[in-house]
Amino acid sequence: MGAPHNIKRYGEVWPEFRILHGLEILNKLKKKVIISGGWACHFMSQEGHTEYKHAHDHKDIDVFVTKENAAEAVIILQQEGFQKVWTRYDHLQSDENFRRYEKTIEPENGKCYRVTIDFFERNDLETIEINGFSVVRPELLLTFYRNIHSSDKCWAVMAAKELLQKRIDPVGHPALSAMPKLN
């Protein structure tokens, strides 16, 4: 589970280049992957939303791939300069066959950063389509914050839970990217 947010940092936004590079690789993987985690919340949010750091986690890109698409997805990643990175989770037994791929990018400001893709294999996911992307169904996505994803304190996750409890579809709802009211 994620740590409580430092509310003094609310209002910080993700650098635009991080969003653009994430979207660039996701567009190339579009037909092969199912988007999860912070990027799923990104796609579920209203188009044109502000990329607040506390609304959606964009530190990495979490994707699921069916076994039949895994090899092709890896080939695309390798063609785009991504390399397999070993993690402390690689030796653990897992139904999802977890792998991590990274690519170092040097944006215009000269400061390098990594694009990290956490890659899980799974064949039984319920999905929805948003703007041509396959995304984990919101009700299922929220269950992953108990074991696969860690940013359960993100505004979008908390808002989606609340909306679903009220039987309101969270997709496109402004609450997913709205800064919480502070008391």
Return mean pLDDT, the chain. Answer: 86
pLDDT band at 107 (very low <50, low <70, confident <90, very high): low
- Structurally, at CATH architecture level, domain 11-177 sits in Roll (3.10)
- Which residues are CB-contacts of 176 (< 8 A; sequence separation ≥ 6)? 41, 44, 45, 46, 49, 55, 155, 156, 159, 160, 170
Neighbours of 20 (CB within 10 A): 10
Whole-angstrom distance between the N-terminal and C-terminal Cα of the chain? 24
What pTM value is reported for the model?
0.86
pLDDT band at 54 (very low <50, low <70, confident <90, very high): confident
The tokens 């037909």 sit on which residue?
31
Determine the average pLDDT of the residues in 94-117.
Answer: 83
- Which residues are CB-contacts of 131 (< 8 A; sequence separation ≥ 6)? 43, 47
Q: What residue spans define the domains of the chain? A: 11-177
Q: Give residue-wise pLDDT tens across range 139-165.
A: 999 888 765 555 666 788 888 999 999
Q: What pLDDT score was predicted for residue 138?
A: 94
Q: What pLDDT score was predicted for residue 1?
A: 38
